[in-house]
Structure 1
Amino acid sequence: MLDVQCLSKVYKTGKRALNGIDMIIDRPQVVAIIGSSGAGKSTFIRCINRLVEPTSGRILLNGKDIVALDRKDLRSARRRIGMIFQEYNLVERLTVMQNVLSGRLGYVSLFASLRYRFPAEDIRAAFELLDRVGLAGYQDRRADALSGGQRQRVGIARALMQRPDLLLLDEPTASLDPKTSRQIMRLVGELVAERKTPAIINIHDVALAKSHADRIVGLSEGALVFDDTPDQLTDAALARIYGDEDWTLTSNNEAAGA
């Protein structure tokens, strides 16, 4: 499905954000990307759909190299990559339904998109998704009248309206309280299983990653230093990712809360 080969990013300042990342996702799963601030997590996520331009390397999605695409073909490829943002990225003055249907804008004419006229099939799919993410009956609410957790659910529904081959989530729980964060992560895991669509999640909360991800990838100074299942994320692995620290308390707290 996704094959990232020797992906590097060097910014104009000379900062090397990514240093030869190799990663393959060949089945539906939730992949959590963890690491310190500045480790390259957001850069990695955004390079995959070229919101950030890679300096070198290849990103193969279903055999097509995203890095090599021209502007027109990139627009087409992005339809198959659903992006969910920390700041929700909704149009505040529009309704929930209009925001969800925005996931289909690349599939209708300019005339139809300006008037938010979509095929009946798309409207039915939007209602079904709103029900699935727990927002049945919210279709006519304005986005700016929603809570943070509700906005994130709208963002998830909008991304799924694209019928993507891959979901990218950039710190989707950073602005949410702990309970809502767990609910959102649980929802993402359920949707990945139901729709057979892999998801890559950039996340700071290690405990949340361990409890909801199928696979954890750790970055340190732009390099991949860990790639395994959550149960293999030992104190020694955490030290490789985040640096020397006493991780015993974190491990004990997780065990107590299990």
Structure 2
Amino acid sequence: MLAVEGLAKVYPTGKKALGGVDIVIDRPQLVAVIGSSGAGKSTFIRCINRLVEPTAGRVLLNGQDIVALDRKGLRAARRRIGMIFQEYNLVERLSVMQNVLSGRLGYVGLLAALRYRFPPQDIQAAFALLDRVGLAGYHDRRADALSGGQRQRVGIARALMQRPDLLLLDEPTASLDPKTSRQIMRLVRELVAERQTPAIINIHDVALARAYADRIIGMKDGLIVFDAEAGSLTEAALTQIYGEEDWSSPQEEDEDIPAGAAAMASLGMTS
């Protein structure tokens, strides 16, 4: 399904964001990417669909190298990659239905897109998705009238309207409260299984990653330092990803504690 080979990103300043990343996702699964701020997680996610242009490497989605595509080919390829953002990226003044249907803009003509005129089957699919993500009856609401969790559900429905071969999620729970974050993660995991669509999620919350992901990739300094089933994420692995810390002791959250520390306490790994 997805093979990433030697993916690298070096910015004009000389900063190396990715140092040569290799992964293979050969079945539908939810893959969580964790690591400290600056580890390269967002760059990795965004290089896959070329929101950030890689410096080197290949991204093979069902055998097609996304990195080698010209602008026209990239537009077509992005139809098959659903992207879900931390800040939702909805058009606030438009309705929920219009935002969801925007996931089909790449499949209709320009005039129809400007007028938001879509085939009946697309409209039916949008209603079905709104029902599936828990927003039945919200189709006429303006996006700016929704809560954060509801907006993220609209973003998920919009991405699924593309009927993607791959889902990318960039910090989708960062702006949500703990309960809503769990609901969103549970929904994503269920949709991966139902639609047989692999998903990669960049996430800071180690507890959520361990609870809902099938596989966890740990990044440090632009490199993958851990890649295994979620249940294999040990204290030693966390030290490898985040640095030395007493993971068995409860910690008060502050800016100096690595992102995983407080999360591990919530997993019951306390003295």
TM bin (shorter chain): over 0.9
Could you say which residue in structure 2 is the equivalent of 1:15?
A: 15
Could you say which residue in structure 2 is the equivalent of 1:210?
A: 210
In 2: Cα distance, 1:252 partner to 1:10 partner: 35
Q: 1:152 to 1:252 in 2, by over 3 A?
A: closer
Identity %: 78
In 2: Cα distance, 1:255 partner to 1:33 partner: 21
Could you say which residue in structure 1 is the equivalent of 2:78?
A: 78
Could you say which residue in structure 2 is the equivalent of 1:247?
A: 247
Unmatched 5+ residue regions in structure 1? none
Could you say which residue in structure 2 is the equivalent of 1:92?
A: 92
Alignment of 1:1-258 (within 5 A): 1-249=1-249, 251=264, 253-255=266-268
Instruction: Report the CA distance between 1:188 and its aligned residue.
Output: 0.1
Instruction: Report the CA distance between 1:253 and its aligned residue.
Output: 3.9
Instruction: Report the CA distance between 1:230 and its aligned residue.
Output: 1.4
Secondary structure of the 1:126 match is helix
Q: Would you say how many aligned residue pairs link Structure 1 and Structure 2?
A: 257
Q: What is the letter of the counterpart of residue 214 of structure 1?
A: D
2:207–2:266 CA contact under 8 A, matched in 1? no
Unmatched 5+ residue regions in structure 2? 250-260
Q: What is the letter of the counterpart of residue 94 of structure 1?
A: L
Q: 1:205 to 1:252 in 2, by over 3 A?
A: closer
TM-score with structure 1 setting the length? 0.98
Instruction: Report the CA distance between 1:248 and its aligned residue.
Output: 1.0
In 2: Cα distance, 1:252 partner to 1:127 partner: 40
In 2: Cα distance, 1:256 partner to 1:17 partner: 32
Q: What is the letter of the counterpart of residue 169 of structure 1?
A: L
Secondary structure of the 1:248 match is coil
In 2: Cα distance, 1:8 partner to 1:106 partner: 29
Secondary structure of the 2:58 match is strand
Secondary structure of the 1:137 match is coil
Q: What is the letter of the counterpart of residue 254 of structure 1?
A: L
